[in-house]
Amino acid sequence: MSLLEVRDLRTHFFTRAGVVKAVEGVSFSLAKGEILGLVGESGSGKSVTGFSLIGLVDPPGRIAGGSIRFEGRELVGLPAQEMRALRGKRIAMVFQDPAATLNPVLSIGQQMALAVRAHGRASEAAARDLAARTLTRVGIPDAAARLDAYPHEFSGGMRQRVAIATALLHGPDLIIADEPTTALDVSIQAQILAEMKSLAKETGTALVWISHDLATVSSLADRVLVMYAGRIVEAGAVGETLRAPRHPYTRGLLDSLPAMARPGEKLNQIPGTTPSLLSLPPGCPFAPRCPRADATCATDPPDVVTAGRLVRCHHPLEAS
């Protein structure tokens, strides 16, 4: 049985201006210990998908339909108390900017102790001990002594390690990481990526890695989901999908990557911008920006599944 089964997830924001369908019909599954890369531009619904999984969609947004099964248990519509008991214990989350996630006026030890005690009683000493051990695991030297330090006394990379340690405290089965390296220096990024990968493999924790950066995902993930305008447009094993993308959007994303371009060649940006989710025309949402679009794209594109890969397109690129 897979760890996580998401079926037709729809998360909508009911604003004054209208209903924003941030996530519209997303389905995927995740095995134990698997690393899934969730890729898309900002506004593609990848972060909202992540927040939906952990039940933290801010109003006026809410899950409007679909199902999220975690170890067979339905999370959509789960009472708030039961959802809270899962959060931090079985499903944890790491955010983008560690400077914003840690509380500046509480010491690291205090904050981690709160997270320890959120799931059961623990003595002051036991909570600090667990916190210190977890900090050591994520590569913070002299952890016990640094428990009384405040976030501003840590560097950006160290802060993110503290956040990751907080997520790891209870040994969760699933960690949702929402662009956790974007705010960091490039050299630190690589370190944290490597550590996250080895921690996940070591403990058998599944990872949903949300990122706009294909390069990061290609070095980390087992599988990749590409999202556009709240939908999955392409999914598959990371190597194949990024080597030979079948959706024109994935192709466009790859072509705009500096690392993928040949020297001397011009970078190809995808023309146009992401559409407003308030007034999405029927049919393929990518059609207005797509080089391969024609009249048929005004109708909903089919899911084409071949050899474990999914592409949602009327005119997919040929598998090479």
Angle (CA) 234-270-264 rounded to 5° is 110
Q: Which stretch binds other proteins (CB under 8 A): 26-34, 78-86, 130-138, 309-317?
A: 78-86
The Cα–Cα gap between 151 and 146 comes to 10
* Interface with other proteins (CB under 8 A), residue from 8, 19, 65, 114: 114
Nearer to other proteins, 114 or 267 (CB): 114
* 100 near other proteins, judged by CB under 8 A: yes
Contact 162, 102 (CB under 8 A): yes
Q: How many residues lie near other proteins (CB under 8 A)?
A: 37
In the region spanning residues 166 to 225, those forming contacts with other proteins, defined by CB under 8 A, are 166-167, 169
The Cα–Cα gap between 311 and 301 comes to 9
Q: Which helix (H) or strand (E) holds 209?
A: strand 206-211
* Interface with other proteins (CB under 8 A), residue from 72, 79, 104, 258: 104
* 122 near other proteins, judged by CB under 8 A: no
Beta-strand pair 4-15/91-94: unpaired
Chain centroid to CA 286: 22
**What x/- string results for residues 234 through 253 when contact with other proteins is judged by CB under 8 A?**
--------------------
* 119 near other proteins, judged by CB under 8 A: yes
* 73 near other proteins, judged by CB under 8 A: no
Residue 9 one-letter amino acid: L
Minimum CB separation of residue 55 from other proteins in Å reads 9
The Cα–Cα gap between 165 and 148 comes to 15
Q: Which residue has the tokens 């474990």?
A: 308
* Interface with other proteins (CB under 8 A), residue from 95, 228, 249, 286: 95
Omega before 263 within 30 of 0, i.e. cis? no
In the region spanning residues 5 to 64, those forming contacts with other proteins, defined by CB under 8 A, are 15-16, 54, 56, 58
The Cα–Cα gap between 312 and 247 comes to 7
Residues of this chain that bind other proteins (CB under 8 A): 15-16, 54, 56, 58, 84-89, 92-93, 95-97, 99-107, 110, 114-115, 118-119, 150, 152-153, 163, 166-167, 169
